[in-house]
A and B are shown apart, each in its own frame.
Chain A
């Protein structure tokens, strides 16, 4: 996403540009179509499109701990996009993290993953992007603090953390597993958001898939540390990634909505393969834990309902505006209390957002709700940002955690609510 940012000095140790691009009409339509599916798996458009902007024309501001990086224009516009890039230039960006002039790219563009994508797949993606509508859109300059804005930093960063390489299949595993591993570790770059990063912004390889960050959301752990009360099976991961919902885990929200939208358009076998590989990341978490019957969750849900009933006895009198139980009973129970609803909501006790180590996803969902992509069917939950004050959201979050999860309380939830509400106000 940082390709062709003009603010970085050139690294003389690498060669300059390759031959200019051939005419886009020369690309094979089948190759272009395959590239489009690969670009969907790579989630390219999500970062390379700004809100309200043309697809792939870049300009999205990506906040990092080191400053703001703007995604670049990867449409084939010759002056502001990558219209002058040859296939070899594109290959080098994907595999080596260098732009057309040979300058190091910021690793917000996940070339540490794309380096594992095969030449054939990179060429197909190239054919796809070079046949998009060229859009003239100048990428704003990055706003990074010293030392992150100078060349030695990127040179050092790559020396420390960038490992060029190809994907090596594991012969002991099935073809499906290997296909999933290839996609997850390479193009889909799942661990970019699901792995903690170190002080220099590199993925902490010791804690791979142990939970990370994405656009102010928590990217839950995908390994044995997964907060899901029931371990995910390959089929359940498929349901979630393909349809945006698994009945025993939850509904896609936040940055995952676009991932699901993209994965709904690629070959089903690829999404199944991704599910197979991700399932294996948890190791042998016991199958009986996974297969606990649904009824096992019922006592917790019943006790929450009973707690609500008890709260209603204190009718009248003092204001209980900040009482999470009352908020739940009045705002949530009509859909989320199984004794009161025919809605097929995912039991709150099973959802990742209620069980995660970080309260932000639950706060985001309460405030914004869950909305399907425009024009597409999907689960709908209204947001409550206008209905509930920050204190009421915090009280509700505390109540949900206490009643639907066995995990410890989130002490930072009230601060997180204020932070998120302030960020929204500033936009």
Chain B
């Protein structure tokens, strides 16, 4: 048994230590947001966050995850109450088939948590490992920019509301 902390909840998982995190998320925990694309860490469809950073879950064995925090797209929001990035992706209509989008959003989330005001060049550089075969990259970049702006606006509003 390996204890995995995913989206703030601890799960005891019975799987080989070298099982990729992606398989455990999808097959054991029914968290189907992260997708299997290439299985080789080449496309980013499986991207989730580990201790605040974007990782490829298809090449992350669960043996390395003790005492670490995994966050998946299910941890960002729900259909009724989507997170900032999820909303921005909808508003920019940033997906065609949608297969890569959970990975895109999780990689962008890791960026915005570390750097809430990234430049366009920083967004492009950070998002580089994730591929979209439909070619919606321009909209994806716009969505990340939009989320960053609304995050700043929300932050400014919070600051302004404080006495």
Contact = CB atoms under 8 A, between A and B. Distances in A.
A320 B55 contact: no
Given A326-B17, A386-B55, A387-B59, A343 B64 contact: no
Nearest to A392: B64
Interface stretch (A11-19, A293-301, A328-336, A352-360): A328-336
A322 to B, nearest CB: 9
Contacts of B42: 380, 382
A142 interface: no
Given A312-B16, A387-B50, A382 B41 contact: yes
Interface string A127-138: 000000000000
Contacts of B65: 321
Q: How large is the interface on A (under 10, 10 to 19, 20 to 34, 35 or more residues)?
A: 20 to 34
A315 B60 CA distance: 17
Contacts of A333: 18
A389 interface: yes
Interface string A358-388: 0000000000000100100000111010111
B7 to A, nearest CB: 18
B40 A343 contact: yes
A185 to B, nearest CB: 37
A308 B61 CA distance: 13
A374 B124 CA distance: 11
Interface string B118-148: 0001000000110000000000000000000
A65 interface: no
Interface string A321-352: 10100110111111100000101000000000
Contacts of A321: 63-66
A191 to B, nearest CB: 33
Contacts of A381: 41
B53 interface: yes
Nearest to B129: A382
Nearest to A319: B66
B60 A331 contact: yes
A316 interface: yes
A380 B43 CA distance: 10
B20 interface: yes
A330 B53 contact: no
Contacts of A388: 64
Contacts of A312: 16-18
Interface in B52-93: 53-56, 58-66
Contact of B18 (A52, A319, A330, A374): A330
B63 A316 contact: no
Nearest to B49: A386
B17 A330 contact: yes
A385 to B, nearest CB: 8
Contact of A335 (B17, B19, B40): B40
Nearest to A389: B64
Given A343-B40, A380-B42, A382-B41, A327 B1 contact: no
Given A386-B50, A387-B55, A387-B56, A319 B63 contact: yes
B66 A382 contact: no
A386 B39 contact: no
Q: Which of B17, B40, B41, B51 gathers most chain A CB within 10 Å?
A: B17
Contacts of B27: none
B118 to A, nearest CB: 14
Q: Which of A317, A329, A341 gathers most chain B CB within 10 Å?
A: A329
Contact of A330 (B1, B40, B51, B64): B64
30 contacts: A308-B18, A312-B16, A315-B17, A316-B2, A316-B14, A319-B2, A321-B63, A321-B64, A321-B65, A321-B66, A323-B17, A326-B61, A327-B61, A330-B62, A331-B64, A333-B18, A334-B39, A334-B40, A334-B58, A341-B40, A343-B40, A382-B41, A382-B56, A382-B129, A384-B59, A386-B54, A386-B55, A387-B56, A387-B59, A389-B64
A-B CB proximity, top 8 nearest: A330-B61, A330-B18, A386-B53, A382-B41, A329-B18, A326-B63, A387-B55, A387-B60
Interface of A: 52, 308, 311-312, 315-317, 319-321, 323, 326-327, 329-335, 341, 343, 371, 374, 380-382, 384, 386-389, 392
Given A382-B42, A386-B54, 10 more contacts: A52-B121, A312-B16, A315-B17, A316-B1, A316-B14, A323-B17, A327-B63, A331-B61, A380-B42, A389-B64
